[in-house]
Amino acid sequence: MSLFRVFDISSSAMHAQSARLNAVASNLANAESVTSSNGQPYRAKQVVFQAAPVGTGKNALGVKVAGVIEDQSPAKLVFDPRHPLADANGYVAMPNVNAVEEMTNMISASRAYQTNVEVMNTAKTLLMRTLSLGQA
């Protein structure tokens, strides 16, 4: 029954989108983290999506989180000679988090999540109506 697989597909997409939302939250929270566990400034994390089959169907693909990559763009240098982590020239390496990019990502992820919830609701309505078929 194909309608049951709509749940699997939509839930895989919701899972992927919430992972993306998670990465956005982490990036925004650490937008000012000058140092992290490895001693380097925090690097923005991006979630990579990949289409992957769910269950036995091969025609309709779900979404899989292929991995989380670190943004390799250079750290932002801020001139602050009094900062304890400033280099010899007085520059502090700040995380390469772009707040505008992250906010856009957040809106996109939350909209996509909502759309998938709607898809799931529609599938549920159709299934409920199918279950009551033939009952007078």
Partner 1 sequence: MLARIDDYFRVQETALKLRSARQELLAANIANADTPGYKARDVDFSSAFSAALAGKSSQPLTTSNSRHLQSGSSSDVFPASALLYRGETQSSIDGNTVNVDKEMVEFSDNALRYQAELTFMQKRIETLSAAIKSN
Dihedrals phi, psi of 12, to nearest 5 degrees: -65, -40
d(CA 93, CA 74): 9
Q: Is 3 in the site for partner 1 (CB under 8 A)?
A: yes
Sites for partner 1 among residues 11-40 (CB under 8 A):
12-13, 16-17, 20
With tokens 């991006």, the residue in question is: 46
Side-chain-side CA neighbours of 23 within 13 Å: the count stands at 27
d(CA 136, CA 126): 18
Sites for partner 1 among residues 64-103 (CB under 8 A):
none
Minimum Å distance from CB 127 to partner 1? 9
Are 84 and 67 in contact, with CB atoms under 8 Å apart? no
Minimum Å distance from CB 11 to partner 1? 9
Side-chain-side CA neighbours of 79 within 13 Å: the count stands at 1
Q: Is 128 in the site for partner 1 (CB under 8 A)?
A: no
Q: Is 10 in the site for partner 1 (CB under 8 A)?
A: yes
Binding site for partner 1 (CB under 8 A): 1-3, 5-6, 9-10, 12-13, 16-17, 20, 48-51, 55-63, 108-109, 112, 115-116, 118-119, 122-123, 125-126, 129-130, 133-134, 136
